[in-house]
Structure 1
Amino acid sequence: MSVPTTGRALSDEQVVAIADELAEATRTGGTIPLVSPRHAGMTVEDSYAIQRVWRARREEAGGRVVGHKIGLTSKAMQDATGIDEPDYGVIFADQVIASGETVEHARWSNVRVEVELAFVLRERLAGPGVTREQVLAATEAIVPALEILDSHIELAGRTIVDTISDNAALGAMVLGTARLAPDAEDLSWIGAMCRVDGEVMETGVAGGVLGDPVMGVVWLADKLGEHGDALEAGETVLAGSFTRPVWVRPGSVVSVDYHGREDIETLEVTFR
Protein backbone atom coordinates (compact mmCIF):
# COMPACT_ATOMS: atom_id res chain seq x y z
CA MET A 1 0.00 0.00 0.00
CA SER A 2 1.35 3.39 -0.96
CA VAL A 3 2.10 5.85 1.85
CA PRO A 4 1.93 9.64 1.38
CA THR A 5 5.41 11.16 1.43
CA THR A 6 4.61 14.84 1.86
CA GLY A 7 2.58 16.92 4.25
CA ARG A 8 1.71 16.31 7.88
CA ALA A 9 -1.38 14.46 9.09
CA LEU A 10 -0.51 14.24 12.80
CA SER A 11 -0.62 17.04 15.34
CA ASP A 12 2.53 18.07 17.20
CA GLU A 13 1.04 16.50 20.32
CA GLN A 14 0.60 13.15 18.55
CA VAL A 15 4.14 13.30 17.19
CA VAL A 16 5.59 13.93 20.66
CA ALA A 17 3.48 11.16 22.22
CA ILE A 18 4.73 8.56 19.71
CA ALA A 19 8.33 9.75 20.04
CA ASP A 20 8.08 9.39 23.83
CA GLU A 21 6.72 5.85 23.44
CA LEU A 22 9.72 5.00 21.27
CA ALA A 23 12.16 6.71 23.63
CA GLU A 24 10.90 4.56 26.49
CA ALA A 25 11.09 1.41 24.34
CA THR A 26 14.66 2.35 23.41
CA ARG A 27 15.53 2.79 27.07
CA THR A 28 14.01 -0.53 28.16
CA GLY A 29 14.80 -2.61 25.07
CA GLY A 30 11.12 -3.29 24.48
CA THR A 31 8.75 -2.87 21.55
CA ILE A 32 5.52 -0.94 21.04
CA PRO A 33 2.49 -1.74 18.86
CA LEU A 34 2.54 -0.66 15.22
CA VAL A 35 2.14 3.07 14.81
CA SER A 36 0.58 3.03 11.31
CA PRO A 37 -2.75 1.30 12.20
CA ARG A 38 -3.22 3.64 15.15
CA HIS A 39 -2.84 6.74 12.96
CA ALA A 40 -4.52 6.24 9.60
CA GLY A 41 -3.24 8.65 6.98
CA MET A 42 0.11 9.13 8.69
CA THR A 43 2.74 10.39 6.24
CA VAL A 44 6.47 9.97 5.75
CA GLU A 45 6.98 13.55 6.94
CA ASP A 46 5.09 12.68 10.15
CA SER A 47 7.54 9.82 10.63
CA TYR A 48 10.60 12.02 10.24
CA ALA A 49 9.05 14.51 12.68
CA ILE A 50 8.71 11.67 15.22
CA GLN A 51 12.30 10.63 14.58
CA ARG A 52 13.53 14.18 15.17
CA VAL A 53 11.76 14.37 18.55
CA TRP A 54 13.12 10.91 19.47
CA ARG A 55 16.61 12.12 18.52
CA ALA A 56 16.19 15.23 20.65
CA ARG A 57 15.20 13.10 23.64
CA ARG A 58 18.41 11.05 23.31
CA GLU A 59 20.53 14.18 22.88
CA GLU A 60 18.95 15.73 25.98
CA ALA A 61 19.98 12.59 27.85
CA GLY A 62 23.61 13.06 26.77
CA GLY A 63 23.69 11.14 23.48
CA ARG A 64 25.96 12.36 20.69
CA VAL A 65 25.15 11.91 16.99
CA VAL A 66 28.16 10.62 15.04
CA GLY A 67 26.57 9.72 11.72
CA HIS A 68 23.59 8.61 9.68
CA LYS A 69 22.32 5.38 8.16
CA ILE A 70 20.48 4.84 4.89
CA GLY A 71 17.87 2.11 4.46
CA LEU A 72 15.53 0.76 1.78
CA THR A 73 18.07 1.15 -1.00
CA SER A 74 16.94 -1.97 -2.90
CA LYS A 75 14.03 -2.05 -5.34
CA ALA A 76 12.59 -5.15 -3.67
CA MET A 77 12.40 -3.45 -0.26
CA GLN A 78 10.94 -0.28 -1.74
CA ASP A 79 8.21 -2.29 -3.50
CA ALA A 80 7.44 -4.12 -0.26
CA THR A 81 6.96 -0.87 1.68
CA GLY A 82 5.08 1.06 -0.99
CA ILE A 83 7.61 3.88 -1.32
CA ASP A 84 10.02 4.65 -4.13
CA GLU A 85 12.94 6.13 -2.21
CA PRO A 86 15.27 5.14 0.66
CA ASP A 87 14.92 6.27 4.26
CA TYR A 88 17.40 7.38 6.91
CA GLY A 89 18.16 7.43 10.62
CA VAL A 90 20.83 8.81 12.94
CA ILE A 91 23.74 6.99 14.58
CA PHE A 92 24.74 7.76 18.17
CA ALA A 93 28.23 7.28 19.63
CA ASP A 94 27.08 4.39 21.84
CA GLN A 95 25.95 2.53 18.70
CA VAL A 96 29.48 2.22 17.26
CA ILE A 97 31.20 -1.16 17.71
CA ALA A 98 34.67 -2.21 16.57
CA SER A 99 35.19 -5.42 14.60
CA GLY A 100 36.22 -8.26 16.90
CA GLU A 101 34.10 -7.17 19.86
CA THR A 102 31.75 -9.39 21.84
CA VAL A 103 28.35 -7.81 22.44
CA GLU A 104 25.25 -8.68 24.45
CA HIS A 105 22.50 -10.11 22.22
CA ALA A 106 19.88 -8.92 24.72
CA ARG A 107 20.92 -5.32 24.11
CA TRP A 108 18.67 -5.30 21.05
CA SER A 109 15.27 -6.63 19.98
CA ASN A 110 14.75 -8.64 16.77
CA VAL A 111 18.50 -8.96 16.13
CA ARG A 112 19.46 -9.09 12.44
CA VAL A 113 22.58 -8.03 10.54
CA GLU A 114 23.29 -6.55 7.10
CA VAL A 115 26.54 -5.98 5.16
CA GLU A 116 27.36 -2.41 4.14
CA LEU A 117 30.07 0.10 3.31
CA ALA A 118 30.55 3.15 5.52
CA PHE A 119 31.70 6.58 4.34
CA VAL A 120 33.82 8.60 6.78
CA LEU A 121 33.48 12.30 5.91
CA ARG A 122 36.18 14.93 6.21
CA GLU A 123 34.01 17.75 4.85
CA ARG A 124 30.45 18.94 5.32
CA LEU A 125 27.84 17.97 2.70
CA ALA A 126 24.69 20.07 2.49
CA GLY A 127 21.94 19.60 -0.07
CA PRO A 128 20.13 20.15 -2.27
CA GLY A 129 22.12 19.57 -5.44
CA VAL A 130 24.94 17.43 -4.02
CA THR A 131 26.80 15.52 -6.75
CA ARG A 132 28.60 12.19 -6.82
CA GLU A 133 31.89 14.02 -7.31
CA GLN A 134 31.25 16.18 -4.24
CA VAL A 135 30.59 13.09 -2.11
CA LEU A 136 33.87 11.50 -3.22
CA ALA A 137 35.79 14.73 -2.58
CA ALA A 138 34.25 15.08 0.88
CA THR A 139 34.96 11.45 1.88
CA GLU A 140 38.09 10.67 3.85
CA ALA A 141 37.78 6.89 3.58
CA ILE A 142 35.48 3.95 2.86
CA VAL A 143 35.26 1.42 5.70
CA PRO A 144 33.77 -2.11 5.67
CA ALA A 145 30.76 -2.25 7.98
CA LEU A 146 28.04 -4.43 9.40
CA GLU A 147 24.72 -3.00 10.55
CA ILE A 148 22.93 -4.54 13.51
CA LEU A 149 19.21 -3.99 13.06
CA ASP A 150 16.92 -3.34 16.00
CA SER A 151 13.22 -2.60 16.10
CA HIS A 152 11.27 -0.95 18.88
CA ILE A 153 8.05 -1.38 16.90
CA GLU A 154 6.65 -4.88 16.39
CA LEU A 155 7.82 -6.37 13.10
CA ALA A 156 4.70 -7.98 11.64
CA GLY A 157 2.79 -5.56 9.41
CA ARG A 158 5.27 -2.68 9.55
CA THR A 159 5.10 0.02 6.91
CA ILE A 160 7.61 2.68 5.97
CA VAL A 161 6.15 5.11 8.52
CA ASP A 162 6.76 2.64 11.35
CA THR A 163 10.35 2.06 10.27
CA ILE A 164 11.26 5.75 9.86
CA SER A 165 9.65 6.65 13.19
CA ASP A 166 11.82 3.95 14.77
CA ASN A 167 15.07 5.59 13.52
CA ALA A 168 15.10 3.31 10.45
CA ALA A 169 15.55 0.26 12.74
CA LEU A 170 19.20 0.98 13.55
CA GLY A 171 20.68 -0.93 16.46
CA ALA A 172 24.40 -0.40 15.92
CA MET A 173 27.16 -0.39 13.32
CA VAL A 174 30.25 -2.60 13.42
CA LEU A 175 33.26 -0.99 11.72
CA GLY A 176 36.39 -2.64 10.33
CA THR A 177 39.86 -1.11 10.36
CA ALA A 178 40.46 -1.03 6.58
CA ARG A 179 40.32 2.46 5.09
CA LEU A 180 39.85 2.49 1.33
CA ALA A 181 40.46 5.55 -0.83
CA PRO A 182 37.05 6.70 -2.12
CA ASP A 183 38.20 7.26 -5.70
CA ALA A 184 40.67 4.37 -6.08
CA GLU A 185 38.24 1.86 -7.60
CA ASP A 186 34.68 1.13 -8.66
CA LEU A 187 33.03 0.68 -5.26
CA SER A 188 30.02 -1.01 -6.86
CA TRP A 189 32.02 -4.21 -7.40
CA ILE A 190 33.16 -4.70 -3.80
CA GLY A 191 31.65 -8.06 -2.87
CA ALA A 192 31.17 -9.84 0.43
CA MET A 193 29.97 -13.07 2.05
CA CYS A 194 28.17 -12.97 5.40
CA ARG A 195 28.62 -16.05 7.59
CA VAL A 196 26.88 -16.98 10.83
CA ASP A 197 28.78 -19.61 12.81
CA GLY A 198 30.78 -20.42 9.70
CA GLU A 199 27.80 -20.95 7.38
CA VAL A 200 27.38 -18.59 4.43
CA MET A 201 23.98 -16.93 4.84
CA GLU A 202 24.12 -14.03 2.36
CA THR A 203 26.30 -12.72 -0.45
CA GLY A 204 26.22 -9.49 -2.44
CA VAL A 205 28.03 -6.64 -4.13
CA ALA A 206 27.90 -2.99 -3.13
CA GLY A 207 26.25 -2.06 -6.42
CA GLY A 208 23.03 -3.40 -4.90
CA VAL A 209 22.83 0.01 -3.20
CA LEU A 210 21.15 2.18 -5.84
CA GLY A 211 23.60 0.83 -8.44
CA ASP A 212 26.45 2.68 -6.70
CA PRO A 213 26.84 3.16 -2.91
CA VAL A 214 28.09 6.70 -3.48
CA MET A 215 24.62 7.58 -4.75
CA GLY A 216 23.18 6.61 -1.41
CA VAL A 217 25.20 9.38 0.21
CA VAL A 218 24.13 11.78 -2.55
CA TRP A 219 20.49 10.94 -1.80
CA LEU A 220 20.99 11.36 1.95
CA ALA A 221 22.68 14.76 1.71
CA ASP A 222 19.88 16.05 -0.48
CA LYS A 223 17.14 14.57 1.72
CA LEU A 224 18.67 16.05 4.86
CA GLY A 225 18.77 19.39 3.06
CA GLU A 226 15.00 19.19 2.65
CA HIS A 227 14.74 18.83 6.43
CA GLY A 228 17.14 21.69 7.19
CA ASP A 229 19.97 19.37 8.17
CA ALA A 230 23.33 18.32 6.66
CA LEU A 231 26.06 15.71 6.86
CA GLU A 232 28.84 17.12 9.02
CA ALA A 233 32.61 16.67 8.80
CA GLY A 234 33.67 13.70 10.89
CA GLU A 235 30.39 11.84 10.52
CA THR A 236 30.17 8.22 9.40
CA VAL A 237 27.44 7.26 6.92
CA LEU A 238 26.19 3.69 6.55
CA ALA A 239 25.45 3.78 2.84
CA GLY A 240 22.87 0.97 2.70
CA SER A 241 22.84 -2.81 2.79
CA PHE A 242 23.76 -4.99 -0.16
CA THR A 243 22.59 -8.19 1.56
CA ARG A 244 19.24 -9.22 2.98
CA PRO A 245 18.85 -9.14 6.79
CA VAL A 246 20.21 -12.24 8.54
CA TRP A 247 18.75 -13.29 11.90
CA VAL A 248 21.25 -13.82 14.72
CA ARG A 249 20.87 -15.89 17.90
CA PRO A 250 22.66 -15.56 21.25
CA GLY A 251 26.02 -17.31 21.06
CA SER A 252 26.47 -16.75 17.33
CA VAL A 253 29.58 -15.40 15.62
CA VAL A 254 28.94 -13.25 12.55
CA SER A 255 31.78 -12.75 10.08
CA VAL A 256 32.03 -10.95 6.75
CA ASP A 257 34.68 -11.81 4.16
CA TYR A 258 35.41 -9.46 1.25
CA HIS A 259 36.18 -11.60 -1.79
CA GLY A 260 39.76 -11.41 -3.05
CA ARG A 261 40.62 -8.42 -0.86
CA GLU A 262 43.83 -8.70 1.12
CA ASP A 263 43.40 -5.04 2.06
CA ILE A 264 40.13 -5.70 3.92
CA GLU A 265 40.20 -7.86 7.00
CA THR A 266 37.38 -10.25 7.95
CA LEU A 267 34.77 -8.28 9.87
CA GLU A 268 33.57 -10.14 12.97
CA VAL A 269 31.26 -9.71 15.93
CA THR A 270 30.24 -12.24 18.59
CA PHE A 271 26.80 -12.14 20.21
CA ARG A 272 26.96 -13.36 23.80
Structure 2
Amino acid sequence: MPSPSPSELAADTFVKAWATGSWLTSPEDYPEAPPNVVELYQTYLAMQVHPLAESELGGLGGYKLGAVGAEGETCLYAPLFKKFLVRASSGDGEAEMSSGAIQMFNVEAEIGMVIGADLSARSDGEPLTSEDVWVAVQSVVPCIECCGRRATAEVAGAQPTALGKFADCLSAGGVIFGEAVPSQSFSDAASVLASCSTALQVNGDEVASGSGAACPLGGPVQALVWLANHLISRGLMLQKGQLVITGMTCKSTSFKVGDAIAATFSSLPRVDMTVAS
Protein backbone atom coordinates (compact mmCIF):
# COMPACT_ATOMS: atom_id res chain seq x y z
CA MET A 1 0.00 0.00 0.00
CA PRO A 2 1.48 3.39 -0.98
CA SER A 3 2.23 5.93 1.71
CA PRO A 4 -0.40 8.66 2.19
CA SER A 5 0.26 11.90 0.34
CA PRO A 6 0.69 15.17 2.27
CA SER A 7 -2.84 16.12 1.20
CA GLU A 8 -4.24 12.86 2.54
CA LEU A 9 -2.36 13.25 5.82
CA ALA A 10 -3.66 16.80 6.25
CA ALA A 11 -7.21 15.74 5.44
CA ASP A 12 -6.98 12.89 7.94
CA THR A 13 -5.92 15.29 10.68
CA PHE A 14 -8.68 17.79 9.98
CA VAL A 15 -11.48 15.25 9.56
CA LYS A 16 -10.55 13.30 12.69
CA ALA A 17 -10.45 16.51 14.72
CA TRP A 18 -13.87 17.53 13.39
CA ALA A 19 -15.45 14.11 13.85
CA THR A 20 -14.20 13.66 17.42
CA GLY A 21 -14.09 17.24 18.70
CA SER A 22 -10.44 16.73 19.59
CA TRP A 23 -9.28 20.12 18.36
CA LEU A 24 -5.73 20.92 17.32
CA THR A 25 -4.25 22.70 20.33
CA SER A 26 -0.59 22.89 19.36
CA PRO A 27 1.09 24.34 16.26
CA GLU A 28 2.91 21.01 15.90
CA ASP A 29 -0.44 19.27 15.44
CA TYR A 30 -1.48 21.49 12.53
CA PRO A 31 -0.72 20.06 9.08
CA GLU A 32 1.94 21.60 6.89
CA ALA A 33 0.48 24.16 4.50
CA PRO A 34 -0.15 23.00 0.93
CA PRO A 35 2.42 24.52 -1.44
CA ASN A 36 -0.14 25.70 -3.99
CA VAL A 37 -3.84 25.85 -4.85
CA VAL A 38 -3.76 22.52 -6.68
CA GLU A 39 -2.62 20.77 -3.51
CA LEU A 40 -5.15 22.76 -1.49
CA TYR A 41 -7.95 21.27 -3.59
CA GLN A 42 -6.38 17.83 -3.18
CA THR A 43 -6.68 18.29 0.58
CA TYR A 44 -10.34 19.25 0.24
CA LEU A 45 -11.03 16.25 -1.99
CA ALA A 46 -9.32 13.94 0.48
CA MET A 47 -11.48 15.39 3.23
CA GLN A 48 -14.74 14.84 1.37
CA VAL A 49 -13.92 11.21 0.54
CA HIS A 50 -12.50 10.38 3.98
CA PRO A 51 -14.41 7.47 5.61
CA LEU A 52 -15.20 9.56 8.69
CA ALA A 53 -16.63 12.32 6.51
CA GLU A 54 -19.35 9.89 5.48
CA SER A 55 -19.89 8.09 8.79
CA GLU A 56 -19.53 11.02 11.21
CA LEU A 57 -20.12 14.19 9.18
CA GLY A 58 -22.95 12.92 6.96
CA GLY A 59 -21.09 12.90 3.66
CA LEU A 60 -20.68 15.59 1.04
CA GLY A 61 -23.63 17.96 1.04
CA GLY A 62 -22.40 20.69 -1.28
CA TYR A 63 -19.86 23.49 -1.42
CA LYS A 64 -19.07 26.91 0.00
CA LEU A 65 -17.36 29.69 -1.94
CA GLY A 66 -15.11 32.30 -0.39
CA ALA A 67 -11.69 33.95 -0.33
CA VAL A 68 -12.42 36.14 -3.35
CA GLY A 69 -9.19 36.95 -5.17
CA ALA A 70 -6.98 34.87 -2.87
CA GLU A 71 -3.85 33.31 -4.36
CA GLY A 72 -4.63 34.98 -7.68
CA GLU A 73 -7.81 32.91 -8.06
CA THR A 74 -11.34 34.12 -8.79
CA CYS A 75 -12.20 32.59 -5.42
CA LEU A 76 -11.79 29.31 -3.58
CA TYR A 77 -14.32 26.66 -2.58
CA ALA A 78 -14.51 23.79 -0.13
CA PRO A 79 -16.90 20.97 0.80
CA LEU A 80 -19.88 21.25 3.12
CA PHE A 81 -21.02 18.22 5.08
CA LYS A 82 -24.64 17.13 5.47
CA LYS A 83 -24.62 16.76 9.25
CA PHE A 84 -24.19 20.51 9.58
CA LEU A 85 -26.72 21.62 6.95
CA VAL A 86 -29.76 22.54 9.02
CA ARG A 87 -33.15 23.56 7.69
CA ALA A 88 -34.62 26.52 9.58
CA SER A 89 -37.72 25.65 11.58
CA SER A 90 -41.10 26.84 10.34
CA GLY A 91 -43.32 28.08 13.12
CA ASP A 92 -41.98 25.88 15.93
CA GLY A 93 -38.89 27.74 17.08
CA GLU A 94 -35.63 28.80 15.53
CA ALA A 95 -33.03 26.41 14.15
CA GLU A 96 -29.91 25.88 16.21
CA MET A 97 -26.25 25.41 15.39
CA SER A 98 -23.93 24.06 18.05
CA SER A 99 -21.05 26.46 18.51
CA GLY A 100 -19.00 23.78 20.26
CA ALA A 101 -19.44 21.17 17.52
CA ILE A 102 -17.76 23.36 14.91
CA GLN A 103 -15.93 25.98 17.03
CA MET A 104 -18.10 28.66 15.44
CA PHE A 105 -16.39 32.04 15.24
CA ASN A 106 -18.10 33.92 12.41
CA VAL A 107 -21.53 34.11 10.78
CA GLU A 108 -22.29 35.26 7.25
CA ALA A 109 -25.45 36.08 5.31
CA GLU A 110 -25.26 34.07 2.10
CA ILE A 111 -27.44 33.21 -0.88
CA GLY A 112 -27.66 29.47 -1.45
CA MET A 113 -28.63 27.39 -4.46
CA VAL A 114 -30.09 23.88 -4.32
CA ILE A 115 -29.04 21.86 -7.35
CA GLY A 116 -31.89 19.98 -9.02
CA ALA A 117 -29.96 18.05 -11.68
CA ASP A 118 -26.40 16.86 -12.20
CA LEU A 119 -24.23 19.40 -14.03
CA SER A 120 -21.86 17.38 -16.18
CA ALA A 121 -19.63 18.70 -18.94
CA ARG A 122 -21.14 19.81 -22.24
CA SER A 123 -20.82 17.35 -25.10
CA ASP A 124 -19.19 20.02 -27.30
CA GLY A 125 -16.46 20.67 -24.74
CA GLU A 126 -17.44 24.30 -24.28
CA PRO A 127 -17.79 25.78 -20.77
CA LEU A 128 -21.20 25.66 -19.16
CA THR A 129 -23.14 28.86 -19.75
CA SER A 130 -25.34 30.72 -17.29
CA GLU A 131 -28.35 29.18 -19.02
CA ASP A 132 -26.88 25.67 -18.72
CA VAL A 133 -26.34 26.13 -15.01
CA TRP A 134 -29.51 27.99 -14.10
CA VAL A 135 -31.76 25.35 -15.65
CA ALA A 136 -30.24 22.86 -13.18
CA VAL A 137 -30.98 25.04 -10.14
CA GLN A 138 -34.02 23.81 -8.24
CA SER A 139 -34.35 26.67 -5.77
CA VAL A 140 -32.68 29.60 -4.08
CA VAL A 141 -32.43 29.58 -0.29
CA PRO A 142 -31.52 32.27 2.26
CA CYS A 143 -28.63 31.07 4.40
CA ILE A 144 -26.58 31.83 7.46
CA GLU A 145 -23.15 30.30 7.18
CA CYS A 146 -21.65 29.39 10.55
CA CYS A 147 -17.89 29.34 10.02
CA GLY A 148 -15.82 26.91 12.06
CA ARG A 149 -12.30 25.57 12.54
CA ARG A 150 -10.54 22.42 13.66
CA ALA A 151 -7.80 24.21 15.61
CA THR A 152 -7.91 26.60 18.52
CA ALA A 153 -8.06 30.28 17.62
CA GLU A 154 -4.44 30.68 18.69
CA VAL A 155 -3.15 27.82 16.55
CA ALA A 156 -5.23 28.85 13.53
CA GLY A 157 -4.12 32.45 13.87
CA ALA A 158 -0.47 31.43 14.07
CA GLN A 159 -0.44 29.84 10.62
CA PRO A 160 2.14 31.78 8.61
CA THR A 161 0.52 31.45 5.18
CA ALA A 162 -2.94 31.97 3.77
CA LEU A 163 -2.86 28.51 2.19
CA GLY A 164 -2.19 27.03 5.61
CA LYS A 165 -5.28 28.75 7.01
CA PHE A 166 -7.39 27.86 3.97
CA ALA A 167 -6.43 24.17 4.24
CA ASP A 168 -8.83 23.74 7.16
CA CYS A 169 -11.76 23.39 4.75
CA LEU A 170 -11.86 27.15 4.12
CA SER A 171 -13.38 27.56 7.62
CA ALA A 172 -16.40 25.43 6.72
CA GLY A 173 -18.67 24.69 9.65
CA GLY A 174 -22.40 24.61 9.14
CA VAL A 175 -25.27 26.30 7.33
CA ILE A 176 -28.75 27.24 8.47
CA PHE A 177 -30.95 27.51 5.37
CA GLY A 178 -34.43 28.94 5.17
CA GLU A 179 -37.50 28.80 2.97
CA ALA A 180 -36.72 27.77 -0.60
CA VAL A 181 -37.79 30.01 -3.48
CA PRO A 182 -38.28 28.04 -6.74
CA SER A 183 -35.79 29.04 -9.41
CA GLN A 184 -38.57 29.65 -11.93
CA SER A 185 -39.81 32.49 -9.72
CA PHE A 186 -36.94 34.66 -10.97
CA SER A 187 -37.21 36.32 -14.37
CA ASP A 188 -33.62 37.61 -14.28
CA ALA A 189 -31.94 35.76 -11.44
CA ALA A 190 -28.42 36.99 -12.13
CA SER A 191 -29.46 40.64 -11.85
CA VAL A 192 -31.99 40.21 -9.03
CA LEU A 193 -29.67 38.22 -6.78
CA ALA A 194 -26.63 40.40 -7.45
CA SER A 195 -28.62 43.44 -6.32
CA CYS A 196 -30.24 41.66 -3.36
CA SER A 197 -29.52 43.65 -0.20
CA THR A 198 -28.72 41.66 2.92
CA ALA A 199 -28.29 42.25 6.65
CA LEU A 200 -27.41 40.37 9.81
CA GLN A 201 -29.11 40.96 13.14
CA VAL A 202 -28.04 39.74 16.56
CA ASN A 203 -30.80 39.83 19.17
CA GLY A 204 -32.74 42.21 16.95
CA ASP A 205 -29.92 44.71 16.38
CA GLU A 206 -28.41 45.06 12.91
CA VAL A 207 -24.68 44.34 13.02
CA ALA A 208 -23.76 44.09 9.32
CA SER A 209 -25.17 44.71 5.86
CA GLY A 210 -24.22 44.00 2.28
CA SER A 211 -25.51 42.68 -1.03
CA GLY A 212 -25.21 39.84 -3.49
CA ALA A 213 -22.71 41.90 -5.46
CA ALA A 214 -20.06 40.89 -2.90
CA CYS A 215 -20.14 37.31 -4.22
CA PRO A 216 -17.41 36.11 -6.58
CA LEU A 217 -17.65 37.69 -10.05
CA GLY A 218 -20.28 40.12 -8.78
CA GLY A 219 -23.23 37.88 -8.00
CA PRO A 220 -24.46 34.48 -6.79
CA VAL A 221 -25.42 33.16 -10.24
CA GLN A 222 -22.10 34.23 -11.72
CA ALA A 223 -20.30 32.53 -8.84
CA LEU A 224 -22.28 29.32 -9.31
CA VAL A 225 -21.45 29.16 -13.03
CA TRP A 226 -17.77 29.57 -12.22
CA LEU A 227 -17.94 26.80 -9.62
CA ALA A 228 -19.72 24.39 -11.97
CA ASN A 229 -17.04 24.84 -14.60
CA HIS A 230 -14.15 24.67 -12.15
CA LEU A 231 -15.41 21.38 -10.73
CA ILE A 232 -15.65 19.95 -14.24
CA SER A 233 -12.04 21.01 -14.87
CA ARG A 234 -11.09 18.80 -11.89
CA GLY A 235 -13.09 15.80 -13.08
CA LEU A 236 -15.92 16.49 -10.61
CA MET A 237 -19.37 18.03 -10.96
CA LEU A 238 -22.24 19.56 -9.07
CA GLN A 239 -24.84 16.92 -8.30
CA LYS A 240 -28.56 16.82 -7.70
CA GLY A 241 -29.47 17.66 -4.13
CA GLN A 242 -26.29 19.54 -3.29
CA LEU A 243 -26.37 22.98 -1.66
CA VAL A 244 -23.99 25.69 -2.82
CA ILE A 245 -23.57 28.81 -0.72
CA THR A 246 -22.25 31.43 -3.09
CA GLY A 247 -20.13 33.66 -0.89
CA MET A 248 -20.29 36.13 1.95
CA THR A 249 -22.52 39.16 1.52
CA CYS A 250 -21.92 40.42 5.07
CA LYS A 251 -20.50 38.93 8.27
CA SER A 252 -20.24 39.30 12.04
CA THR A 253 -18.23 37.87 14.91
CA SER A 254 -20.32 39.78 17.48
CA PHE A 255 -22.31 36.93 18.99
CA LYS A 256 -22.20 34.41 21.83
CA VAL A 257 -23.96 31.21 22.88
CA GLY A 258 -27.66 31.87 23.38
CA ASP A 259 -27.88 34.75 20.93
CA ALA A 260 -30.57 34.89 18.25
CA ILE A 261 -29.20 35.62 14.78
CA ALA A 262 -31.25 36.59 11.75
CA ALA A 263 -30.31 37.19 8.14
CA THR A 264 -32.59 39.30 5.97
CA PHE A 265 -32.67 39.56 2.19
CA SER A 266 -34.56 42.00 -0.03
CA SER A 267 -35.36 39.26 -2.58
CA LEU A 268 -35.62 36.20 -0.31
CA PRO A 269 -37.30 35.23 2.97
CA ARG A 270 -35.68 35.91 6.32
CA VAL A 271 -33.83 33.09 8.11
CA ASP A 272 -33.38 32.80 11.89
CA MET A 273 -31.18 30.73 14.17
CA THR A 274 -29.99 30.44 17.75
CA VAL A 275 -26.38 29.86 18.72
CA ALA A 276 -26.40 26.70 20.85
CA SER A 277 -23.60 25.55 23.14
Q: Which residue of 2 aligns with 1:8?
A: none
Structure 2 contact 97–176 (Cα < 8 Å) conserved: no
Q: Which residue of 2 aligns with 1:246?
A: 253
Structure 2 contact 32–164 (Cα < 8 Å) conserved: no
Query: Which TM-score applies when normalising by structure 2?
Result: 0.81
Deviations 1:22-53 (A, max 9, x none): 12211233136669x97477111112112222
The 5 Å alignment of 1:102-181 reads 102-127=96-121, 129-153=127-151, 154-158=155-159, 159-181=161-183
Return the offset for 1:266.
Answer: 2.3
Q: Which residue of 1 aligns with 2:87?
A: 98
Alpha-carbon spacing, 1:41–1:112, altered in 2? closer, same or farther (3 Å) = closer
Q: Structure 1 stretches (4+) deviating beyond 6 angstroms?
A: none
Q: Which residue of 2 aligns with 1:265?
A: 269
The number of equivalent residue pairs is 252
1-structure distance, mates of 2:214, 2:263:
17
2-structure distance, mates of 1:98, 1:120:
12
- Which stretches in structure 2 are left out of the alignment for 5+ residues? 89-93
Query: Which TM-score applies when normalising by structure 1?
Result: 0.82
Amino acid at match of 1:50: T
Q: Which residue of 2 aligns with 1:222?
A: 229
RMSD value, Cα = 2.5
Secondary structure, aligned partner of 1:222: helix
1-structure distance, mates of 2:229, 2:72:
17
Deviations 1:141-198 (A, max 9, x none): 1111111101124431554423442222111111111414354242111111101122
Amino acid at match of 1:118: G
Q: Which residue of 2 aligns with 1:3?
A: none
Deviations 1:193-250 (A, max 9, x none): 1011222111011111121211111111111112210001221111111113434311
1-structure distance, mates of 2:117, 2:207:
36
2-structure distance, mates of 1:170, 1:40:
17
2-structure distance, mates of 1:40, 1:118:
29
Structure 2 contact 33–164 (Cα < 8 Å) conserved: no
Identity of aligned residues (%): 21
2-structure distance, mates of 1:193, 1:50:
33
2-structure distance, mates of 1:19, 1:270:
30
1-structure distance, mates of 2:39, 2:25:
17
- Given candidates 20, 25, 31, the residue that maps to 2:24 is 31
